[in-house]
Structure 1
């Protein structure tokens, strides 16, 4: 839910006249690639294309030891791929997990691989859920694993929770980051928070613009233009990144240095993001897990205290009531929607403390013991 159409240019930073074909960032990407290269004998570092639900999707796998548990990251958006950002925070995870990213159908590097017109009718939560299930089954066979840890972020947290409900047998645990529960209620809470911030700041323009969106989100059309209509005011108040106003951060420039994304890939990402979020958003209006009272896998929620992109209080309220074999909610006090980037050390510590034990030990637990000794 972080790629409202008005933000696509900031996220994707496609090649343009200001960025010559020679790509001035290529030398920096080579440095990042070398720094993050997996060199251990039993490590894995590969990118491949998998066909999931009839759609070709790009998959990236990295880890220092194949015996470690697999962690599958389901990115947000719709269309907000995490692969080109992961180089900034993921490398320490790879000592304890084999980390898998995939660009979902219609997103990022996967966008050019499938005809958009053929893809559009398939774009539903259920199809994205089933894509994730097919990917997990592929990873089981490819790497000889019985179960994986599934981490869903933002829009991906709806996909991830749907997988946990449909196929708990595939998962050691489900980890929700920027967790969404109910699209309409999330939009309502985010708009109310943003309006309150604007009112306190004397921003009459923002208050009027948000009021003008009514009856959204509870009735009427449910479009990305309406979602953008309040998010553009929310971001300067820290709904996405805590204490990092959009005009004062280079966060969105990180993909320029990603070894996994060329200028052409970033351009495709921008085009795919607009296509995906415009097509999918109206179909999500009534998606809700509010009535779910039990999940059959351990739950770990990692929530930013200041997250009002996907308002964390909505997730926390649901988490309080839901039953699961075990559950743990961790608050990140200086984070909004991106705690893995905003508080990376505490985020890693939470994974080691709360998630690794749920995988049943193995090399990852040995690694934790070694790092702590």
Structure 2
């Protein structure tokens, strides 16, 4: 929830109040007679709803237009409800202005003049992700619609509906309540986390912003309880799979001792959408350019937080980027942490390693491996993201995870940091599983590096302390390959930690254990 003037809220309030003001001079005959009988509880709820909705519409800038996206349709629906509402008023003003005219349905909506505005402001609350507006609209709806339904029953009599109609209507209402109730619940949790984190990081930093890195602005989220703590720069995986809006689920366990910067790398997530007008096809996306961006981010972090060096922490693809950066710029790095460290991606060595192990286990169990082998051949012919994911559906059967819970899923759904661009990019990632090639095309600038990466190309020595931390059951970046390299690696200080029973993202499965391992390592360096 962002405080600030909402011009959208002002427009909607004007669309609501202007016809109501005109109505005060054009009330139906005998309306005051019915008003005297209004239920006091419903009247109180109506007043409370009005008291909440009216100021809320004006003081939260989340209700303003944020650009064309899925949620824009919700805003359009909200405005359309008020347009229809105003048209219904015009119809009333042209009528005989009787109570029957006042309570006529419009476009199939009963109690149109009471119902449309309530729906409009409820949808505005959904659009703005604001539980205050949602709750206010519900309270207003119960009171306002309830009052006018009672008046209508007095004027027109209570209409009897047939049983099938009642059942159908009841089911429809139940579905709507369930769907919108779930949405409201998610928004309520997000708002709660937003407010609680404002207090949690009071005196520190809790800021998401766009920073100019080399030739474009890119998104960075910064969290820490003290701004003079050492800085960790966290690099997400993929490539092109930003988790910035999710990572607070484990970063919160680090921020008492460290300031953590999460970055949507060039060519993905919010950084991609920020620059879509100038680089819609990611023509500037290369591994070397991401290294330059990271170097600019390191310089920014050092200057802003008064540090001489930073800690680099990379997950999966981020460990390729991180380990390469550390070797090029060891003078700017205190320590390096590789989560699910990528070791050898030449010809998809990690996927082949996982497949060979799964195939061996499948044959040992007497299982039919025909489909698995066919998926592998398809993968060899075309190592697209979709084919990799298909192969994993077979190999994962023989690599079960003892730890199946993952707090990052719920953290993402209820994230106080999640925005439209985060979800837009996430759905683009999901589309790769349906063989939609747009995602692969956008990250194509990294394909050569991804397919040729071998950490040993730069030798086995690091000039800074190194921690490799993995889930013990990680078969995406296989632990066996990491152990082999770790045994030969030299560094001022090195450690390897396995989070038992976890897979490729131990930071999301066992966030507190993960954070404690990181802290312990950094204290020993």
Name the TM-score class by shorter chain: 0.7 to 0.9
3-state secondary structure, aligned to 2:234: strand
In structure 1, the partner of 2:490 is 323
Cα deviation for residue 347 of structure 1 reads: 1.3
Q: How big is each residue's C-alpha offset from its partner over 1:46-93, in whole Å with a ceiling of 9 and x where there is no partner?
A: 111012232321101010011211111000011221212223222121
**Bigger Rg, which one:** 2
In structure 2, the partner of 1:304 is 471
3-state secondary structure, aligned to 2:517: helix
In structure 1, the partner of 2:180 is none
Cα deviation for residue 164 of structure 1 reads: 0.7
Aligned residues: 336
Q: For residues 1-373 of structure 1, what are the structure 2 equivalents within 5 Å?
A: 22=127, 24=183, 25-39=186-200, 42-115=203-276, 117=279, 120-183=282-345, 184-199=348-363, 200=365, 202=367, 204=369, 206-213=371-378, 216=380, 222-235=383-396, 242-244=402-404, 252-271=409-428, 275=438, 277-278=440-441, 279-280=443-444, 282-283=447-448, 284-291=450-457, 292-358=459-525
Cα deviation for residue 42 of structure 1 reads: 3.6
**Which runs of 5 or more structure 1 residues have no equivalent in the other structure?**
1-13, 359-373
Distance change in 2, residues 1:235/1:127 (3 Å): farther
3-state secondary structure, aligned to 2:468: strand
Counterpart CA distance in 1 for 2:406 and 2:466 is: 32
- Normalising by structure 2, report the TM-score: 0.58
**Which runs of 5 or more structure 2 residues have no equivalent in the other structure?**
1-69, 75-122, 130-182, 433-437
Indicate the larger mover: 289-298 or 57-66.
289-298
Q: How big is each residue's C-alpha offset from its partner over 1:266-311, in whole Å with a ceiling of 9 and x where there is no partner?
A: 0134337865544336322112112322111111111111001121
Instruction: Identify the structure with the greater helix proportion.
Output: 2
Instruction: Identify the structure with the greater strand proportion.
Output: 1
Q: How big is each residue's C-alpha offset from its partner over 1:160-185, in whole Å with a ceiling of 9 and x where there is no partner?
A: 00011110011110000010011132
Counterpart CA distance in 2 for 1:257 and 1:271 is: 20
Q: Root-mean-square deviation (CA), in Å?
A: 2.9
Q: How big is each residue's C-alpha offset from its partner over 1:172-226, in whole Å with a ceiling of 9 and x where there is no partner?
A: 1000001001113212212223434554483545423334236x2xxx6543233
- Normalising by structure 1, report the TM-score: 0.80
